[in-house]
């Protein structure tokens, strides 16, 4: 069983690898890390000191805790220190060949009882595990950025993963104070799949000229109580990153029209208008830029919010029907992973599945596009008057 004395191995000293190493150090584990770039390895300890130092400033840990934590950390020049590891989390570049190569090297070093997890966002867990010597101990552990702050971790068993490995990892990560959900090995897992319409439908409304981005953002904040509107969030994530995730999921689902990427967002990427990091995206962040006011039309605002929400609920309903996760985990993933104000299935129960279904039927008939087809489970609930949560318990 994994526990507080377990040694964690981390592959990759980038954003995610260091974030995961920090969590484990804070929880008292010994951590061994490897990165193929010398400077990344050399900088790892100083970067961890800086981020843990901010916690000392906030009085979330003492200077002594910090020194002890760093005393348990080793960045090796090869994989040899991983022979002591009980659990390894891989967070290197998002490339199947690179990941499979390092798993091959790792399996020559680690013990047979060591569990291997990958933090991949978009690659199939089963495909990564199938090259491993012991695929039963391999699984996805998908942290969100910044890992020490974001509560959610998606746990994704591949076809070969045994149940004991899943239970063992879930209980360890729960003990770190994280919220874990178990997702089926399908593209985008839970969050990255179900969140697609938040961006995609907002972009579609904008492209159609129904409202501008400022008004759509206002509507989602005002009527949905989302912390950020879709365009603010795309600018924050980076249009390049957000576009790539959509494109990957669209392709992985064999060109499912629900996930079709937006040409408007593609043009922004081509123009290097990536958002906050380039000071221009949908919004202009340059000094002196003049902010545009939303069109505060309550009827329009409610219609925008309801359309985007209906598409999100449709996605969650299909994910439930297709066994991506339980209703409880689907809702937890969206509230803890992307801070949605409510779980989408509970939101549907509250608003009435019939109303959501009718909105989708309206869109489907108006546009005649498969993108708007209602989820069969939503249709069933609309017909029977059942609720997602009661329906699942029955």
Task: Catalog residues that contact ligand NAD under the rule CB under 6 A.
Answer: 11-17, 35-37, 40, 91-94, 98, 102, 119-121, 143-145
Query: Minimal distance in Å, beta carbon 105 to ligand NAD?
Result: 9
Count the neighbouring beta carbons within 10 Å of the beta carbon of residue 352.
14
* Minimal distance, residue 122 CB to ligand NAD, in Å: 6
CA dist 209 and 63 (Å) reads 55
Q: How far is the CB of 98 from ligand NAD (least distance, A)?
A: 5
**Nearer to ligand NAD by C-beta: 13 or 211?**
13
Q: How near is the Cβ of 71 to ligand NAD at its closest, in Å?
A: 23
Residue nearest ligand NAD (C-beta atom): 14
In the complex, the smallest distance separating the C-beta of residue 178 from ligand NAD, rounded to whole angstroms, is: 14
**Signed CA dihedral, 336, 266, 246, 147: sign only:** negative
Kindly tell me which of 135 and 337 has the beta carbon lying closer to ligand NAD.
Answer: 337
In this complex, which beta carbon is closest to ligand NAD, that of residue 120 or of residue 165?
120
CA atoms of 239 and 215, how far apart (whole Å): 19
Asked if 121 is an active-site residue, the reply is yes
Using DSSP, state whether 10 is helix, strand or coil.
Answer: strand
Give exposure, 109-127, as e/b (b: 16+ Cβ within 10 Å). Answer: bbeeebbbbbbbbbbbbbe
Task: Name the residue nearer to ligand NAD (CB basis): 22 or 121.
Answer: 121
In the set 6, 124, 192, 375, the catalytic residue is 192
Residue 142 CB, nearest approach to ligand NAD (Å): 6
C-beta of 296: minimal distance to ligand NAD in Å?
Answer: 34
Q: Is 181 helix (H, G, I), strand (E, B) or coil?
A: strand
For the chain, count helices (H), then strands (E): 18, 8
Region label for 105, one of left (φ > 0), alpha (ψ between -120 and 50) or beta (otherwise): alpha
Reported as type and span, the H/E element at residue 155 is: strand 152-157
Nearer to ligand NAD, 189 or 259 (CB): 189
Q: Which of 6, 29, 142, 314 is catalytic?
A: 142
Specify whether 29 is catalytic. Answer: no
Compare residues 35 and 217 and give the one whose CB is closer to ligand NAD: 35
Task: Round the CA-based radius of gyration of the chain to a whole number and report it.
Answer: 22
Contact indicator for 78, 37 with CB cutoff of 8 Å: no
SS3 assignment, position 151: coil
For residue 387, give both structure tokens: 């609720």
**284 C-beta neighbours (distance < 10 Å), count:** 15
Instruction: Give the active site residue among 121, 124, 168, 375.
Output: 121
Q: Is the peptide bond before 146 cis (omega within 30 degrees of 0)?
A: yes
Looking up tokens 């340059």, which residue turns up? 286
Catalytic residue among 90, 124, 154, 262: 154
Phi and psi angles of residue 244, each rounded to the nearest 5 degrees, phi first? -65, -40
Task: Give the contacts of 295 (CB within 8 A, at least 6 positions apart).
Answer: 211, 212, 215
- Of the two residues 244 and 302, which places its CB atom closer to ligand NAD in the complex? 244
Written as six digits, the tokens of 77 are: 């020049």
Nearest approach, Cβ of 123 to ligand NAD (angstroms)? 7
Name which of 297, 281, 169, 143 is nearest 223 in CA terms. 297
Q: Which is nearer to ligand NAD, 241 or 392 (CB)?
A: 241
Catalytic residues: 121, 142, 154, 192
């Amino acid at each position: 069983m994994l526990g507080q004395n377990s040694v964690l191995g981390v592959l990759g000293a980038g954003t995610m690898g260091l974030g995961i190493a920090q969590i484990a150090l804070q929880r008292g584990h010994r951590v061994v890390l490897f990165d193929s770039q010398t400077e990344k390895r050399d900088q790892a300890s100083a970067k961890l000191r800086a981020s843990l130092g901010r916690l000392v400033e906030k009085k979330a840990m003492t200077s002594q805790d910090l020194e002890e934590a760093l005393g348990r950390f080793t960045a090796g020049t090869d994989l040899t220190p991983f022979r002591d590891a009980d659990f390894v989390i891989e967070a290197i570049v998002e490339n199947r060949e690179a990941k499979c190569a390092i798993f091959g090297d790792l399996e020559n070093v680690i013990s047979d009882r060591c569990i291997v997890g990958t933090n991949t966002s978009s690659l199939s867990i089963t495909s990564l595990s199938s090259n491993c010597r012991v695929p039963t101990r391999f699984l996805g552990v998908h942290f969100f950025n910044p890992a020490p702050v974001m509560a959610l971790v998606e746990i994704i068993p591949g076809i070969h993963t045994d149940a004991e490995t899943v239970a063992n990892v879930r209980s360890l990560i729960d003990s770190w104070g994280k919220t874990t959900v178990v997702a089926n090995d399908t593209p985008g897992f839970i969050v990255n799949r179900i969140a697609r319409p938040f961006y995609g439908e907002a972009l579609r409304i904008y492209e159609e000229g129904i409202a501008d981005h400022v008004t759509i953002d206002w509507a989602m904040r005002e009527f949905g109580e989302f912390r950020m509107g879709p365009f603010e969030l795309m600018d924050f994530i980076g249009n390049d990153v957000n576009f790539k995730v959509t494109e990957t999921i669209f392709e992985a689902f064999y060109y499912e029209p629900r996930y079709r990427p937006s040409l408007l967002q593609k043009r922004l990427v081509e123009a290097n208008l990536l958002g906050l990091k380039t000071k221009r995206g949908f919004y202009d962040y340059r000094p002196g830029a003049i902010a545009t006011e939303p069109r505060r039309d309550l009827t329009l605002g409610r219609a925008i919010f309801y359309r985007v929400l209906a598409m999100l609920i449709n996605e969650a309903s299909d994910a439930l029907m297709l066994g991506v996760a339980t209703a409880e985990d689907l809702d937890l993933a969206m509230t803890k992973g992307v801070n949605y104000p409510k779980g989408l299935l509970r939101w549907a129960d509250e608003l009435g599945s019939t109303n959501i279904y009718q909105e989708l039927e309206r869109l489907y008939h108006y546009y005649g596009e498969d993108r708007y087809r209602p989820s069969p489970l939503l249709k069933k609930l609309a017909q029977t008057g059942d609720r997602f949560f009661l329906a699942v318990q029955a």
